[in-house]
């Protein structure tokens, strides 16, 4: 096994312990459905009678309940019967009026025996649930284990997730507009133009800053709830946040993991999506979903006024005219990207560099043909750094990667899918629910085992990287790339070819050095050596979203915000897709899969605020 350490804990993230398994046995009950029915019946009785003391017979001491807006207006993960009891006693919703039932509406949702752990040694009964609560309904998943003491079946994990708010507008799968406009003055196109341009002094309830995947998916979810939103972006076209990246960029996650809600990718879509193809799809998605998006738009002024925002927008129209509009949205969603603004190190002597190009990875459009005569230095060692170094190599450059700290590398090729997301796997909605129903401590426990297995199975690969001078880590507490992503949003690489170039010596590695200054011909490092370069790309990450928000909203608003991204003490993401600490201000960030799942929950929270359910 490759002897490399765990990653250092992110300063913004709580040091989360991996879950423990209870002492269990497994005797197949024959009729698994009856086991789940019995547990659900006792659970409902305990809720109705408010007999939370009996939860010790329903939940293991090591158990987890992950709630997403069903029993509180927040994302919570409770560990053990005592915390669960206190949670229900303090719940704003009347828990006694809630009931669970088994969702066996599809064969794939029938209660079944599955393994919780990667080895397959911990067998549980897994069941989908329907949840009826006072103000709406939800979906859930329960995983039951058999107690070694008395052979009873208890919950190890329970997830309850809000699906819709009753009395509100139902989600799209239950409603369609008629499309008929007989007797109306305006055609569909004329109505869309008026709506998109907010004519006749119309006002959006929600202003969304950023037209990337998070912004567009939030707008789509809000539209299905009949909540008016306006998405603004300074780019010229929808999708430019991907379109303007380096020429060879391809998503590292497979197609099944990246579907958009309401409009999945067609069956001939490639496994790994080229960035230009995704850009076109996002533009198409916005049009078909009838989203109100203003491109070439700057946020000129924004001020909080007790119950609403006062916002001044400056919009450059296609004909060259400049339009200034003032709006008063009650909500603003910051969807400028998990990464925020480019983090470009301040290094003296930049004016002395007399070669070709210096840029941040977000500004890198692609390598030029070199024929072996040019040298490139890439500062950084995450996904973008590897992709850019690989691009330079294939265009004939001599490439050096300056690795400032260790990196978590995932050698897995996801050609046939990723976890539950595959060609013949469960529906995207069911895969999302199963994935997100797993509490982060349990996921961490599993990922420690997955990472250990990867180290064994790919020992030669990791040894080759280390022999090339590349420093590796196993992620937080040995839990690999997924936990690294949740804790810090970066610091990892999913291998799509650059690692082999490093192993083969085509991409040189310099590790552990910082840049002191520029020289006319490259970079001078802390040990006094010089890296010769004709082109330098800083793949040095991004500033945090909280810092970006400070620049937009000012210190008074920013001082009320909690940390954005990283894990809290229960394993939930901080301030993302949930209340931020300042009224009317929300953050949306993450990859396509996170945006697909959590955009719905954010839209439901805004609906709850608008209907007076959530304060």
Among residues 139, 74, 81, 133, which one has the least CA distance to residue 106? 139
Q: 523 with 377: CB under 8 angstroms?
A: yes
Residue 519 and residue 384 share a domain: yes
The pLDDT, as a whole number, for residue 14 is 87
Flag whether 494 is in a domain: no
Tokens of 253: 């996650």
Domain region containing 283: 198-340+545-555+587-610
Flag whether 174 is in a domain: no
Helical packing angle, 480-488 and 440-457, nearest 10°: 130
Nearest-angstrom CA–CA distance, 72 and 509: 50
Flag whether 256 is in a domain: yes
Q: How far is CA 217 from CA 15, 334, 453, in A?
A: 31, 13, 36
Among residues 535, 511, 507, which one has the least CA distance to residue 521? 535
Flag whether 470 is in a domain: no
Q: 153 with 61: CB under 8 angstroms?
A: no
Could you say which DSSP state residue 320 is in?
A: S
User: pLDDT grade, residue 1 (50/70/90)?
Assistant: very low
CATH number of the domain that residue 40 is part of? 3.10.450.50
Within its chain, how far is the Cα of 320 from the centroid?
36
For the cut 80, the answer to whether the pLDDT of residue 94 exceeds it is no
Tell the burial category of 528 from Cβ atoms under 10 Å away from its Cβ (0-12, 13-18, 19+): exposed
Residue 444 sits at the vertex; the CA angle it makes with 443 and 445, to the nearest 5 degrees, is: 90
Residue 100 and residue 151 share a domain: yes
**Which range, of 37-51, 232-246, 406-420, 600-614, averages the lowest pLDDT?**
406-420
User: pLDDT grade, residue 452 (50/70/90)?
Assistant: very high
Residue 118 and residue 149 share a domain: yes
Nearest-angstrom CA–CA distance, 589 and 576: 7
For the cut 60, the answer to whether the pLDDT of residue 475 exceeds it is yes
Flag whether 444 is in a domain: no
Q: 130 with 101: CB under 8 angstroms?
A: yes
Among residues 394, 404, 337, which one has the least CA distance to residue 543? 337
Buried b (16+ CB within 10 A) or exposed e, 462-493: bebbeebebbbbbbbbbbbbbbbbbbbbbbbb
Nearest-angstrom CA–CA distance, 395 and 118: 41
Alpha helix locations (H) across 306-382? none
Among residues 45, 32, 25, 27, which one has the least CA distance to residue 126? 32
The pLDDT, as a whole number, for residue 2 is 44
587-597 pLDDT, tens digit per residue, is 999 999 999 99
Residue 142 and residue 96 share a domain: yes
Residue 253 and residue 116 share a domain: no
Residue 302: strand pairing partners: 311
Flag whether 491 is in a domain: no
For the cut 70, the answer to whether the pLDDT of residue 93 exceeds it is no
Residue 133 and residue 221 share a domain: no
Number of domains in the chain: 3
Among residues 564, 443, 440, which one has the least CA distance to residue 77? 440
Residue 234 and residue 97 share a domain: no
CATH number of the domain that residue 388 is part of? 3.50.50.60
Residue 261 and residue 217 share a domain: yes
Alpha helix locations (H) across 541-591? 545-553, 555-558
Name the 3-class secondary structure at 246: coil
Q: 414 with 250: CB under 8 angstroms?
A: no
Starting from the edge strand earliest in sequence, which strands make up the sheet with 535-538, in order? 357-360, 535-538, 375-379, 398-403, 507-511
More confident residue, 344 or 79: 79
Rg (CA), the chain: 26
The pLDDT, as a whole number, for residue 170 is 52
The pLDDT, as a whole number, for residue 49 is 87
- Kind and range of the H or E run holding 461: helix 459-467
32-80 pLDDT, tens digit per residue, is 999 999 999 999 999 988 888 888 899 999 999 999 999 999 999 999 9
Nearest-angstrom CA–CA distance, 473 and 379: 18
Q: 524 with 350: CB under 8 angstroms?
A: no
**Which range, of 25-29, 44-48, 155-159, 175-179, averages the lowest pLDDT?**
175-179
Residue 218 and residue 270 share a domain: yes
- Mean pLDDT along residues 250-270: 96
Residue 551 and residue 535 share a domain: no
Among residues 331, 295, 329, 332, which one has the least CA distance to residue 315? 295
Tell me the residue ranges of DSSP E strands in 265-345: 293-294, 297-304, 309-316, 322-327, 331-334
For the cut 80, the answer to whether the pLDDT of residue 415 exceeds it is no
User: pLDDT grade, residue 356 (50/70/90)?
Assistant: confident
Nearest-angstrom CA–CA distance, 594 and 589: 8
Nearest-angstrom CA–CA distance, 348 and 370: 28
Q: 29 with 35: CB under 8 angstroms?
A: yes
For the cut 90, the answer to whether the pLDDT of residue 27 exceeds it is no
511-567 pLDDT, tens digit per residue, is 989 999 999 999 999 999 999 999 999 999 888 888 889 999 999 999 999 889 999
CA-based torsion, 111, 64, 582, 134: positive or negative: positive
Backbone angles phi, psi at 132, to 5 degrees: -110, 120
Residue 231 and residue 92 share a domain: no
For the cut 90, the answer to whether the pLDDT of residue 277 exceeds it is yes
Residue 308 and residue 212 share a domain: yes
Nearest-angstrom CA–CA distance, 285 and 288: 5
Q: 383 with 494: CB under 8 angstroms?
A: yes
């Amino acid at each position: 096994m490759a002897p490399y350490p765990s990653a250092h804990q992110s300063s913004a993230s709580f040091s989360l312990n991996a879950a423990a398994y209870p002492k269990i046995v497994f005797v197949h009950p024959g009729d698994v459905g009856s086991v789940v029915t019995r547990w659900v019946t006792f659970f409902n009785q305990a809720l109705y009678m408010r007999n939370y003391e009996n939860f010790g017979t329903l939940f293991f001491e090591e158990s987890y309940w992950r709630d997403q807006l069903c029993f509180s207006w927040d994302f919570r993960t409770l560990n053990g019967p005592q915390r669960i009891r206190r949670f229900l006693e303090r719940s704003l919703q009347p828990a006694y009026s809630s009931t669970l039932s088994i969702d066996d509406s599809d064969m794939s949702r029938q209660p079944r025996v599955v393994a919780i752990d990667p080895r397959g040694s911990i067998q549980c009964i897994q069941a989908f649930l329907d949840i009826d609560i006072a103000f709406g309904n939800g979906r859930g998943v329960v995983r039951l284990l058999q107690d070694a003491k008395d052979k009873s079946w208890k919950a190890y994990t329970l997830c309850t997730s809000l699906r819709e708010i009753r009395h509100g507008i139902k989600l799209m799968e239950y409603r369609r507009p008629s499309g008929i406009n007989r007797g109306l003055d305006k055609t569909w196109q004329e109505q869309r133009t008026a709506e998109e341009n907010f004519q006749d002094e119309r006002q959006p309830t929600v202003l969304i800053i950023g037209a990337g995947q998070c912004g567009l998916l939030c707008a789509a979810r809000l539209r299905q709830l009949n909540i008016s939103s306006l998405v603004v972006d300074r780019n010229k076209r929808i999708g430019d946040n991907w379109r303007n990246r380096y020429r060879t960029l391809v998503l590292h996650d497979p197609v099944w993991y990246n579907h958009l809600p309401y409009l999945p990718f067609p069956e001939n879509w490639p496994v790994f999506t080229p960035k230009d193809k995704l850009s076109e799809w996002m533009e198409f998605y916005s049009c078909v979903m009838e989203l109100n998006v203003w491109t070439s738009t700057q946020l000129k002024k924004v001020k909080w006024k007790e119950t609403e925002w006062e916002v001044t927008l400056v919009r450059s129209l296609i004909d060259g005219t400049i339009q200034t509009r003032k709006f008063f949205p009650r909500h603003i969603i910051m969807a400028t990207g998990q990464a925020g603004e480019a983090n470009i190190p301040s290094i003296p002597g930049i004016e002395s560099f007399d070669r070709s190009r210096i840029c941040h990875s977000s500004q890198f459009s692609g390598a030029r043909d070199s024929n072996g005569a040019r040298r490139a230095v890439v500062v950084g060692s995450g996904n973008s750094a590897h992709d850019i170094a690989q691009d330079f190599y294939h265009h004939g450059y001599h490439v050096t990667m300056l690795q400032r700290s260790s990196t978590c590398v995932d050698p897995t090729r996801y050609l046939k899918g990723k976890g539950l997301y595959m060609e013949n796997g469960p529906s995207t909605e069911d895969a999302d629910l199963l994935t997100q129903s797993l509490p982060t401590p349990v996921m961490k426990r599993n990922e420690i085992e997955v990472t250990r297995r990867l180290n064994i199975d790919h020992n030669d690969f990791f040894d080759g990287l280390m022999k090339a001078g590349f420093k590796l880590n196993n992620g937080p507490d040995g839990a690999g790339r997924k936990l690294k992503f949740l804790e810090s949003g970066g610091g990892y690489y999913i291998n799509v070819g650059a690692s082999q170039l490093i192993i083969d010596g085509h991409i040189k590695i310099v590790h552990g050095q910082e840049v002191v200054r520029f020289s006319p011909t490259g970079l001078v490092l802390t040990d006094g050596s010089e890296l010769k370069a004709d082109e330098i790309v800083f793949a040095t990450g991004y500033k945090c979203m909280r810092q970006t928000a400070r620049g937009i909203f000012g210190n008074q608003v920013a001082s009320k915000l909690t940390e954005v991204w990283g894990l809290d003490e229960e394993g939930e993401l901080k301030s993302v897709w949930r209340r931020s600490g300042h009224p009317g201000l929300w953050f949306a960030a993450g990859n396509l899969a996170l945006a697909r799942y959590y955009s719905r929950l954010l839209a439901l929270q805004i609906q709850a605020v608008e209907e007076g359910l959530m304060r």
